[in-house]
């Protein structure tokens, strides 16, 4: 089963959710790789989980 980059970054961000600086670092890294639609979905996912300020 192939995992999308979006799902990969969701997994990474959930694993570093204990550290706000790591969340931001991984989120910014993801935005450089993902397309606009995927970036927006990742932002919504993070906001739903209160991971981004």
Q: How far is the CA of 4 from the CAs of 18, 19, 21, 45, 53, in angstroms?
A: 23, 24, 24, 15, 25
The band of 14, judged by pLDDT with boundaries at 50, 70 and 90, is: very high
Give me the percent of the chain exceeding a pLDDT of 90.
91
**What pTM did the predictor assign?**
0.90
Which tens digits make up the pLDDT trace of 30-49? Answer: 999 999 999 999 999 999 99
Domain ranges of the chain: 5-48
Task: Report helix, strand and coil shares of the chain as percent, to nearest 5.
Answer: 70, 0, 30
- Report whether pLDDT(3) > 90: no
């Amino acid at each position: 089963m192939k995992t999308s980059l979006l799902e990969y970054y969701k997994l990474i961000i959930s694993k570093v959710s204990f550290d706000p600086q790591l969340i931001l670092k991984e989120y910014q890294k993801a935005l450089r790789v993902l397309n606009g639609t995927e970036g927006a979905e990742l932002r919504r996912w993070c906001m739903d989980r209160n991971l981004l300020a």
